[in-house]
Amino acid sequence: MTTVVSIAFESTDSADALLRDTDNARVIEILNAGLGRPLKYAFVMHAGVSIPDIKVQWSTDSDMVQAFGFSYNKLSAASLEATFPCEVYLNIENWRSLRAHQAHWRLMGIKKYREYQVTHEFGHALGVGHLAPRGRVCNVMTQQTMKPTCAINSRPTSVDLDYFIKARARGGFARVRQSKL
């Protein structure tokens, strides 16, 4: 059985200027391609008056620093806490173009980086923390925005999928809803 997961998108004033009409739809596409099939989720845009399952906040570097502190400069984030709705913060500046701290992604390109950025942060929203590199290729849950010690990778590995499937079995995004009822 497939579980529908609704996502509401918001943006800070500073991020709004960088946001394009197609960005939210692209996030949904990435999620359905990378996590939807193996985890039996169907990600959809939130429409309606009910509370969404996940809230995505588009933010800039300065927004991230203001919200989370300097260690989050140039990064995205997601809540590992049982909050409802789950909160994911996507850095629009990283989404828009590869920057100096992401030079190692240039051969793969911005589209692959976006796949990594979204899949990694939604993995956190599922409740999965960072994974240490195992082998030559990075797991998608290995921190790869800053230069990693393994070959960069934008798609979930079998190790990632094992963690994601276990998180889904614990309730996945629904665990958050259930903890707040």
pLDDT digits 0-9 by tens, 110-154: 999 999 999 999 999 888 989 988 889 999 999 998 888 899 999
Q: What is the pLDDT of residue 82?
A: 58
In sequence order, the 6+-apart residues with CB closer than 8 A to the CB of 89 are 56, 57, 59, 63, 64, 67, 68, 76, 77, 78, 121
CB 78 within 8 A of CB 56: no
Q: What is the pLDDT of residue 176?
A: 43
Tokens found for residue 170: 């614990």
Q: Is the pLDDT of residue 28 over 80?
A: yes
* Number of neighbouring beta carbons within 10 Å of residue 87: 18
Residue 172 Ramachandran class (φ > 0 left, ψ -120 to 50 alpha, else beta)? left
Rounded Cα gap, residues 53 and 5, in angstroms: 6
Q: Tell me which DSSP letter residue 138 carries.
A: P
Q: Is the pLDDT of residue 172 over 90?
A: no
Mean pLDDT of 21-49: 92
Residue 8 phi, psi (nearest 5) = -105, 135
Q: What is the mean pLDDT of the chain?
A: 88
Mean pLDDT of 77-100: 85
Q: Tell me which DSSP letter residue 170 carries.
A: T
Domain boundaries, given as residue ranges, for the chain:
3-170
Task: Check: pTM over 0.75? Answer yes or no.
Answer: yes
Residue 69 phi, psi (nearest 5) = 105, 165
CB 113 within 8 A of CB 140: no
pLDDT class of 2 with cuts at 50, 70, 90: confident
Q: What is the pLDDT of residue 181?
A: 33
Q: Considering the domain 3-170 in this protein, what is its CATH number? A: 3.40.390.10
Distance of CA 88 to the CA centre of its chain: 6
Q: Which helix (H) or strand (E) holds 95?
A: helix 92-96
Q: Is the pLDDT of residue 79 over 80?
A: no
Q: Is the pLDDT of residue 45 over 90?
A: yes
Tokens found for residue 19: 């946001």
